[in-house]
């Protein structure tokens, strides 16, 4: 496991002038401050590891400060949430309520108004995205297709039973 970035070396977090600096300069987006509950509890992995991207959202590898446990940290611009372009709040509520072996778990959600981001703390799942794994296969046997369909149908039944997949 890589080390966790607390803050760049030599940065004193106690002066207002230094809080205005861009923390984590290696991030694919800027930050104004790390004086937030999210940054008290979590930090990004070092070296920075981008797990996925979509639209303006990014998913980065991170760690819980108190335990070192690894998570996927989904970063969504707050402007997207405010404009209704993203239903990230609903997504996080649904994922926090579900418990299924084939559905990623959401552990927490933070609205970081100072930096203009919302953060979702997600289960870190090895192996990448399901769709990418399907595309990467050169041969897709009937057994592979059957197994994948069974998993997808099981997920749909689980969500339908909870009135999510209506």
CATH number of the domain within which 17 lies = 3.30.200.20
Mean pLDDT of 109-114: 89
Query: Are 150 and 119 within one domain?
Result: no
Number of independent structural domains in the chain: 2
Query: Are 164 and 97 within one domain?
Result: no
Query: Are 68 and 132 within one domain?
Result: no
pLDDT of 31 reads 84
Query: Are 62 and 15 within one domain?
Result: yes
Spatial distance between the Cα atoms of 99 and 107, rounded to a whole number of angstroms = 11
Query: Are 134 and 78 within one domain?
Result: no
Query: Are 148 and 78 within one domain?
Result: no
Query: Are 69 and 142 within one domain?
Result: no
Query: Are 134 and 57 within one domain?
Result: no
Spatial distance between the Cα atoms of 147 and 166, rounded to a whole number of angstroms = 24
Query: Are 32 and 104 within one domain?
Result: yes
Query: Are 94 and 161 within one domain?
Result: no
- Whole-model pTM: value is 0.77
pLDDT score of 92 more than 70: yes
Task: Give start and end residues of each alpha helix (H) in the chain.
Answer: 16-19, 37-41, 78-82, 88-97, 130-136, 142-161
Query: Are 49 and 60 within one domain?
Result: yes
Higher pLDDT among residues 80 and 73, named by residue? 73
pLDDT in tens, 1-43: 444 444 333 333 333 333 344 567 778 787 888 888 999 999 9
Enter the tokens of residue 61. Answer: 């590898």
Query: Are 27 and 94 within one domain?
Result: yes
Domain around 43: 3-125
């Amino acid at each position: 496991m890589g080390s966790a970035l607390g803050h760049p070396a030599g940065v004193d977090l106690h002066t207002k002038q230094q809080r205005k600096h861009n923390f984590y300069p290696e991030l694919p987006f800027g930050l104004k401050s790390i004086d937030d509950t999210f940054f008290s509890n979590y930090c990004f992995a070092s070296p920075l590891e981008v797990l996925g991207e979509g639209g303006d959202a990014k998913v980065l590898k991170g760690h819980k400060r108190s335990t070192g446990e690894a998570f996927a940290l989904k970063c969504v611009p707050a402007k997207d949430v405010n404009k209704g372009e993203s239903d990230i709040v609903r997504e996080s509520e649904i994922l926090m309520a579900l418990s299924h072996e084939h559905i990623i778990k959401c552990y927490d959600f933070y609205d970081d108004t100072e930096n203009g981001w919302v953060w979702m703390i997600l289960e870190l799942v090895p192996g990448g995205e399901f769709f990418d794994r399907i595309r990467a296969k050169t041969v897709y046997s009937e057994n592979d297709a059957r197994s994948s369909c069974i998993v997808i149908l099981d997920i749909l039944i689980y969500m339908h039973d909870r009135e999510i997949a209506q």
